[in-house]
Chains A and B, each alone.
Chain A
Amino acid sequence: MSAVESWPARRPATEISRPTFASAAQAHLDDVYRYLLYLTKDGTLAEDLTADTFERALRAWARFDPRRGGVRTWLCQLARTAALDHFRAERRRRGREERYARDREPAQPEPGAGAFSPELERGLAALSAAEREVIALRVVLELDGPAAAEVLGISQSACSTRLSRALVHLREELTVNA
């Protein structure tokens, strides 16, 4: 078993029963923010998407079934959906703008508060969003294999493979930048 696979899964006991929305939001705000920060590389965007995620969660709270999965996994799924919606909207917007303003300087993403070290920042910047999000889910948030695969909508083996490649890629980038 690889080092990646041996990382223990952490599943708080509170996820088995149905908590209140307020307690769930308080408990998992950091997790959702970190995940979105990894996914977007943009602190301001991550904040907006985090707020959007909890808006969606509030509207869908009645449909959440704790027997089917934990609150954190469910929130990460909503966050991923919110991020994908944003990326699609951005792609459409960029397409429109490219037709009218070809020399427009692209906006620089703002780093989040408490950002990473410069080396780690550069290393993460070289990864794709898909690689960053699997690192965020499995390493930073410590979701177990099934939960992470559920958020990503892929099989567990595909999730493990993606994680291994992402970490190897990150290490290579850190080695190059060192």
Chain B
Amino acid sequence: MPDSLDALALELRATAPAAPARLRTRVDAIAARTPPAPASWRAWFQPRRALLVAAPTAVAAMLAVAIAHGLSSSPTHSDASQSAARNQLEVFSTDRRVIAPAQSGVGAPIPRASGTTAAKADRAANTPPPSKVRAQEYRAMLTVRLGSVDGMSDAMKNAIRATRAWGGYVVAANYNVPGANGDARLIVRIPVQHVQAAIQRFSDLGTLAAQDVSIRDVQATLDSYTRQLLATRERIAKLRVKLAHAETDAQRASLELQIARAQRAAAQLRAEQVALKRQASFANVTLTLTTRDAAAATPHKEGRIERTLRDAVSILALELVFALYGLIVVAPVALLAALAFLAARAGRRRADERLLGST
């Protein structure tokens, strides 16, 4: 009997049986067969290699999309000028960049007010008039500099009085004078036929520092409402004729239902048309009064490369946001799946241990 583990181990190794001859014959017959060839994709697909290729490829694709978008969405200066010259419809502009050539009068740089009558007349001439024949959305933003805060309150009151005198109304007013300097903002809606006079009047309150005017034609939309209304009324008339000749109750009920629906649609169109007409009959004017000195910086005009990079960076940021969002959504699911897999594997191992322990 072995009296040490080493001796026991030696005995175990010494008495370990060899495979019998019949088993060796069986296994030799198995080994003589050709192992099946691996699937062709297994030869080159390996998870680590795939990750090393996929990750930089995905990053390169994201950059390519961002740069392509930047190149395609940033027009040149000449393109922008020609487009503005051809088209009377202008896009809304909330900054102070020049977006159209001076001859259109929209967004044209306004010379600093020198207080002379001639300069003021220039400003009025440069402000585009609203159209008399077409419905438009007219917006104007003025920044007027005052000499001191003392006159700011009176200037606000003057502007409000003038607005009401023209038949307009105040949408919002904000007055902020914490100390020696202050700002005030007034947003009003003025009947569009008086908007040029309003701009002139507001400019005269002080020194005009900035002016931005934009016009959007909505006549096409109104005409579309009119066409749809006519078509709907025509349909209602035809349905009424059919209703008069309906022979069965079911037909009458169906026709009455269609007429009711068409009438509701016509009412909806009419309401939208009226709302748009009312919207177009008033101009939005935002007046900012300030006592602060303007920054001396000249307007910066972006070059093509700058615009391309800016657009590309914004697209890249959007892509990263989507990727992060996807990761946030997928990560908990992946974590749960991994935990479930680990739990299942641990369960299988415990079951195997129990099985071997009972065998």
Binding site for B on A (CB under 8 A): 3-4, 7, 21-22, 25-26, 29-30, 33-34, 37, 39-40, 43, 47, 50-51, 54-55, 58-59, 61-63, 84, 87-88, 91, 112-117, 119-120, 128-130, 133, 135, 139-140, 142, 153-154, 167, 170-171, 174-175, 178
Contacts and interface: CB of A to CB of B under 8 A. Distances in A.
Contact of A113 (B15, B20, B31, B349): B20
B356 A133 contact: yes
B17 A112 contact: yes
Q: What are the 5 tightest A-B residue pairs by CB atom distance, in nearest-first order?
A: A114-B17, A62-B38, A61-B35, A129-B359, A25-B31
B4 to A, nearest CB: 7
Interface in B310-358: 349, 352-353, 355-358
Given A33-B23, A50-B19, A114-B18, 5 more contacts: A21-B31, A87-B355, A87-B359, A116-B17, A128-B358
Candidate in B13, B16, B352, B355 with the most chain A CB atoms within 10 angstroms:
B16
A29 B27 contact: yes
Contacts of B355: 84, 87-88, 91, 129
B9 A34 contact: no
B49 interface: no
B58 interface: no
A32 to B, nearest CB: 8
Nearest to A134: B356
A36 B17 CA distance: 11
A47 B18 contact: no
Interface string B33-77: 101111000100000000000000000000000000000000000
Candidate in B2, B6, B30 with the most chain A CB atoms within 10 angstroms:
B30
Contacts of B17: 33-34, 37, 112-116
B157 interface: no
Interface of B: 1-2, 4-6, 8-9, 11-13, 15-20, 22-24, 26-28, 30-33, 35-38, 42, 349, 352-353, 355-359
A50 B37 CA distance: 23
A25 B13 contact: no
A58 B18 contact: no
21 contacts: A25-B30, A26-B28, A29-B27, A34-B16, A50-B23, A55-B30, A58-B31, A58-B33, A63-B38, A63-B42, A112-B20, A113-B20, A114-B17, A114-B18, A114-B20, A116-B17, A133-B356, A139-B12, A167-B9, A171-B2, A171-B8
A58 B356 contact: no
Contacts of B20: 43, 47, 112-114
A80 B36 CA distance: 23
Nearest to A135: B12
A130 B31 contact: no
Given A133-B356, A139-B12, A30 B31 contact: no
Contacts of A40: 359
A7 B9 contact: yes
Given A114-B17, A116-B15, A139-B9, A50 B27 contact: yes
Given A87-B356, A91-B355, A130-B353, A117 B15 contact: yes
A33 B26 CA distance: 13
A61 B38 CA distance: 9
Contacts of A140: 12-13, 16
Contacts of B42: 62-63
